Amino acid sequence: MNYDLICIDIMKKVSTEGKKKRLLLQACCAPCSSAVLERLATTFDITMLFYNPNITEEKEYRKRKEELQRFLHQKYPNIKILDCSYDKEAFLEVTRGLEQEKEGGKRCYQCYLLRLQKTASLAQIHHFDYFGTTLSISPYKNSAWLNEIGKDLEEKYQISYLYADFKKHNGYQRSIELSKEYGLYRQDYCGCIYSKIEREKKKELEFQREN
CB 41 within 8 Å of CB 79: yes
CA dist 64 to 14, 50, 136, Å?
31, 9, 18
Rounded mean pLDDT, 72-86: 95
| Collapsed DSSP state (helix, strand, coil) of residue 125 | helix
Q: What pTM did the predictor assign? A: 0.93
DSSP tag of 28: S
Predicted confidence (pLDDT) per residue in 114-152, tens digit? 999 999 999 999 999 999 999 999 999 999 999 999 999
pLDDT at 205 over 80: no
pLDDT: which is higher, 110 or 188? 110
pLDDT at 201 over 80: no
pLDDT at 2 over 70: yes
What's the CATH architecture for 3-210? Answer: 3-Layer(aba) Sandwich (3.40)
CB 112 within 8 Å of CB 146: yes
pLDDT given for residue 207 in this prediction: 59
pLDDT at 186 over 70: yes
pLDDT given for residue 193 in this prediction: 85
- CB burial readout 54-80, b (16+ within 10 A) else e: bbbeeeebeebbebbeebbeebbeebe
Predicted confidence (pLDDT) per residue in 17-75, tens digit? 988 999 999 999 999 999 999 999 999 999 999 999 999 899 999 999 999 999 999 99
Residue 167 CA to residue 137 CA, distance in Å, equals 4
Nearest Cα to 107, choosing from 202, 192, 196? 192
With a pLDDT cut of 90, the percent of the chain lying above it is 81
pLDDT: which is higher, 68 or 209? 68
Q: Where are the domains of the chain?
A: 3-210
CA dist 29 to 72, 105, 147, 188, Å?
11, 21, 19, 12
Q: What is the mean pLDDT of the chain?
A: 94
